[in-house]
């Protein structure tokens, strides 16, 4: 099938590349002329494992191309995807201006029937608004359908998630686009849930909020485990092996961040409020997440006492492993808090250093260190802020020799406390 994806970011680019990989012809549109030029010249604007090869292969085969023109993309396609940002506003509600702008641009470009599919994460009833908007701005007599098809990919595993989804949700307000949506997803081996548009939109917010809830549950348990001298990893493992619960998303640590969970949670609380329901459960999920960072900083302060002029190595800037994304990253938040107390930071990350520089400008007190094994040099403490597997291969003997005081604060429970003790570190983690 011929597809157009409007918005070539984390979701749009990976979706476009994976659709091309299974044989569709895809044109990706982006308003950022620099991004389009970079992609046309063979560059990849984001780090995502496996993405570069898929993009290269499909550009070479002629199935994947890039343009700055929505009209060109819409003209060339049977199905038009919207994958633009839906950022949070100060009150937690969603900024819908990108979606509205794309709806108008698509409307102005319509000359014949198209299926317009929303992949961005949006409040319930957005499909109705997009339909109204397109109707208002499209030429008279042109027909279209709006479909909700939320995306569940995880950054860092996006190509795999797109190629092997758990399920595909298709929300429609008429039967007409269903056959095309099924054909589009036929190459993927996953159940397709066809439902109404409002339910499809709610599925996305309900799912992300539930995953955030699981993380906050584990973090609340970590507080109890710290106080009781128990081990949160043992507790969550013992719980999670009950297949009604599951072991995933039960990792205690610095809390969740990134461009999705915090914003989707705020959005869902706000949407619920608008619909007359005070979602207190989710407010507590937010609060537990915020408290977790405060508690971790306090743990560092309780040990190091005064942070001013302390040298602290920080491993991890990305919001999680396998990505260069630093949007709402707990690691960045932690660095900002430590810097505010006057600590001198030596930071490193396998992929996110360039993007982090916009939020944590390099200076004499904010040193970016390329060699991860050298981050601890001369430091009073080393902090693990992101769960990159690479950090488990750290040269700990070298770190210990080079540190002023051998103290590790492990915000992601990457290391074994007994092994750290054996190596001679003062080691503090979360809930263990
Ligand atoms: N990042 C994720 O892990 C993830 C997962 C699932 C769902 N989502 C949702 O998908 C949506 C997109 O997220 P993202 O992370 O890919 O965002 P992103 O910021 O990485 O990419 C969005 C892209 O849209 C482009 N854009 C903005 N306005 C445009 C316009 N009028 N025409 C063409 N291009 C335009 C931007 O230049 C940018 O390249 C959001 O609603 C997000 O909540 C994200």
Query: Can you spell out the DSSP letters for 128-196?
Result: HHHHHHHHHHSPTT--EEEEE----PPTTSHHHHHHS-S-EEEEESSSTTHHHHHHHHTTS-S-EEEEE
* pLDDT for the residue 332: 98
List the helix and strand counts (H, then E) for the chain: 16, 14
Paired residues of 410 in beta bridges: 384
Write out pLDDT tens, residues 264-289. Answer: 999 999 999 999 999 999 999 999 99
Which residues are tagged catalytic? Answer: 260
What is the whole-number distance in angstroms between the Cα of residue 179 and the centre of ligand 1? 26
Neighbours of 242 (CB within 10 A): 9
Residue 406's H or E segment, with its range, is none
* pLDDT for the residue 19: 98
Is any ligand 1 atom within 6 A of the Cβ of residue 32?
Answer: yes
Q: What is the dihedral of CA 44, 45, 47, 50, to 10 degrees?
A: -30
Confidence bin at 354 (pLDDT 50/70/90): very high
Shared fold status for 2-190 and 286-428:
yes
If one looks up domain 205-284 in CATH, what number appears? 1.10.1040.10
* pLDDT for the residue 224: 98
Is any ligand 1 atom within 6 A of the Cβ of residue 399?
Answer: no
* Sheet-wide strand order for 144-148: 64-67, 25-29, 2-6, 79-82, 114-118, 144-148, 168-172, 192-196
pTM score: 0.95
Q: Which fold has domain 286-428?
A: Rossmann fold (3.40.50)
Cα dihedral 154, 253, 414, 244 sign? negative
Q: Quick one: which atom of ligand 1 is closest to the CA of 11?
A: 16
Measured CA distances, 381 to 288, 394, 411 (Å): 26, 15, 13
- Contact between 215 and 254 (Cβ < 8 Å): no
Domain ranges in the chain are 2-190, 205-284, 286-428
Average pLDDT over residues 116-132: 98
Is any ligand 1 atom within 6 A of the Cβ of residue 121?
Answer: yes
User: Interior CA angle at 153 toward 151 and 155, to 5°?
Assistant: 135
- Contact between 153 and 323 (Cβ < 8 Å): no
Q: What is the mean pLDDT of the chain?
A: 97
Average pLDDT over residues 52-78: 98
Write out pLDDT tens, residues 11-35. Answer: 999 999 999 999 999 999 999 999 9
Domain 2-190 in this protein, CATH class: alpha beta
Query: Can you spell out the DSSP letters for 238-302?
Result: HHHTSTTT-STT---SS---TTTHHHHHHHHHHHHHHTT---HHHHHHHHHHHHHHHHHHHHHHH
CA distance 109 to 18: 25
User: Interior CA angle at 359 toward 356 and 362, to 5°?
Assistant: 75
Write out pLDDT tens, residues 88-107. Answer: 999 999 999 999 999 999 99
Write out pLDDT tens, residues 413-431. Answer: 999 999 999 999 999 999 9
Write out pLDDT tens, residues 178-190. Answer: 999 999 999 999 9
What is the whole-number distance in angstroms between the Cα of residue 220 and the centre of ligand 1? 32
CA distance 128 to 109: 19
CA distance 3 to 350: 34
- Contact between 99 and 120 (Cβ < 8 Å): yes
Is any ligand 1 atom within 6 A of the Cβ of residue 94?
Answer: no
What is the whole-number distance in angstroms between the Cα of residue 85 and the centre of ligand 1? 4
């Amino acid at each position: 099938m011929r597809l157009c994806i409007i918005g070539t970011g984390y979701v749009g680019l990976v979706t476009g590349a994976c659709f091309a990989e299974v044989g569709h012809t895809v044109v990706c549109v982006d308003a950022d002329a620099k991004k389009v030029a970079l992609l046309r010249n063979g560059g990849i604007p984001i780090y995502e494992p496996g993405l570069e090869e898929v993009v290269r292969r499909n550009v070479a085969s002629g199935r994947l191309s890039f343009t700055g023109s929505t009209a060109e993309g819409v003209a060339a396609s049977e199905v038009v995807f919207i994958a633009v940002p839906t950022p949070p506003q100060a009150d937690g509600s969603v900024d819908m201006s990108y979606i509205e702008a794309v709806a108008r641009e698509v409307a102005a470009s319509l000359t014949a029937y198209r299926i317009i599919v929303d992949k961005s994460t949006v409040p319930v009833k957005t499909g109705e608004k997009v339909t109204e908007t397109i109707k208002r701005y499209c030429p008279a007599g042109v027909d279209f359908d709006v479909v909700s098809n939320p995306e569940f990919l995880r950054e860092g595993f996006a190509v795999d998630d797109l190629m092997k989804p758990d399920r595909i949700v298709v929300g429609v307000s008429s039967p007409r686009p269903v056959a095309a949506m099924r054909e589009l997803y036929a190459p993927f081996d996953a159940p397709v849930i066809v439902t109404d548009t409002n339910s499809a939109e709610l599925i996305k917010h309900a799912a992300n909020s539930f995953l955030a809830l699981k993380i906050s549950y584990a973090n609340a348990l970590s507080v109890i485990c710290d106080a009781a001298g128990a081990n949160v990893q043992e507790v969550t493992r013992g719980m999670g092996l009950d297949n009604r619960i599951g072991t995933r998303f039960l990792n205690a640590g610095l809390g969740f961040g990134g461009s999705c969970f915090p914003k989707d949670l705020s959005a869902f609380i706000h949407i619920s409020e608008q619909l007359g329901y005070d979602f207190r459960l989710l407010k507590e999920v937010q609060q537990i997440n915020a408290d977790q960072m405060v508690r971790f900083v306090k743990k560092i302060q309780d040990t190091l006492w005064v942070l001013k002029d302390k040298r602290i190595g920080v491993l991890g800037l990305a919001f999680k492993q396998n990505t260069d994304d630093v949007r709402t990253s707990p690691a960045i938040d932690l660095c900002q808090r430590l810097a505010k107390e006057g600590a001198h930071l030596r930071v490193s990350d396998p992929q996110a250093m360039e993007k982090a520089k916009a939020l944590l400008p390099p200076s004499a007190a904010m040193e970016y260190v390329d060699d991860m094994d050298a981050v601890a040099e001369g430091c009073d403490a080393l902090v693990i802020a992101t769960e990159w597997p690479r950090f488990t291969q750290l040269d700990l003997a070298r770190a210990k020799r080079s540190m002023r005081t051998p103290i590790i604060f492990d915000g992601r429970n990457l290391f074994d406390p007994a092994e750290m003790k054996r190596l001679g570190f003062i080691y503090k983690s979360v809930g263990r």
